Amino acid sequence: MINFAALMEYAFESRLYESEVHGIEHWHQVEYNGLLLAKKTGADIDVVRLFAIFHDSKRLDDAYDREHGARGAEFAKLCREEKRFELDDERFDLLYRACEQHTITQNTGDVTIDTCFDADRLDLGRVGIPLDPKKMATEWGAKIAQKSLTSGYSVFHMREWIRSLVL
């Protein structure tokens, strides 16, 4: 069993940069979005939850940081080696690839990785970016993004709107 709360606390304390945009609230929203999507996509829930912790954990700043995903993947690898969580090799590979590629790949065709991508993308409203169905990696991510465009909610209130959804 993975102690997600302890792992998130450790990752948060180990971050390189204190961010309002990519900080703990974002990590929690990505986890929520991922769990919401996983109900429909069948994605591996542990991988999705771990992705929420590691995907932005090693950002240098809030600007464009092409390598932050790769650094987050390596941090996940280090945490696994330190026995902070256990995950078999196949599932860890999904986590690693999701972290590494989340900002540089549109989709992979793997339901778990693509669910991770959309879990992150569904929180773009926090920075004023409307959700774009064409940029989602899963059918359900695209459906939520499409519905958001007609919801009448400000992009800055997407978190609240997403939390009101029942899929």
Nearest to 105 by CA among 133, 69, 59: 69
pTM of the predicted model, to two decimals? 0.94
Instruction: Tell me the residue range of the domain where 18 lies.
Output: 4-164
Could you give the number of structural domains in the chain? 1
The predicted structure's pLDDT at residue 16: 64
Question: Which CATH number do you get for residue 115?
Answer: 1.10.3210.10
Closest CA relative to residue 155, chosen from 125, 112, 134: 125
Q: What is the pLDDT along the chain (167 residues), one digit of tens a residue?
A: 899 999 999 998 887 667 777 778 999 999 999 999 999 999 999 999 999 999 999 987 777 778 999 999 999 999 999 999 999 999 999 999 999 999 999 999 999 999 999 999 999 999 999 999 999 999 999 999 999 999 998 998 999 999 998 77
Predicted pLDDT at 125: 93
